Amino acid sequence: MHASPASQWMVEILSLVLHHDEQDVLCAVEMALEAGVPTKTLVLNLLHRLVDGTPTDQPDVKPPSSLALKKEPEANVAGYDGLRGGTRHAS
């Protein structure tokens, strides 16, 4: 029987307390949950920021209006058919 990816992720997060302060791990998990991105990658990133003393609250970045799109991109999947040059398939 194999463990599900979610349970494997949970084991890896819980095992962080073997190498880091339990409160730091708990804080990183809570911050990831509050951000709405409860991923292992974010928890590890936040934990390392807490341990290193790097600020975890980043300012909102607002791009300048000159970077706004003038025309929204649209999908053109038919264009790929022309690149294929017909209906050849790899054998």
Residue 17, amino acid? V
pLDDT, residue 44, reads 92
pLDDT, residue 13, reads 87
Q: Reply yes or no on whether the pLDDT at 88 is more than 70.
A: no
Q: Reply yes or no on whether the pLDDT at 91 is more than 60.
A: no
Q: Reply yes or no on whether the pLDDT at 11 is more than 80.
A: yes
> The whole model's pTM is what?
0.57
The domain ranges of the chain are 1-54
Q: What percent of the chain has pLDDT over 70?
A: 87
* Distance from C-alpha of 76 to C-alpha of 4, rounded to nearest angstrom: 37
Averaged over 51-76, what is the pLDDT? 83
* Distance from C-alpha of 61 to C-alpha of 84, rounded to nearest angstrom: 40
* Distance from C-alpha of 62 to C-alpha of 64, rounded to nearest angstrom: 6
Spatial contact of 20 and 51, defined as CB atoms under 8 Å apart:
yes
The residue among 88 and 45 whose pLDDT is bigger is: 45
pLDDT confidence band for 53 (50 / 70 / 90): confident
| DSSP 8-state code for residue 57 | -
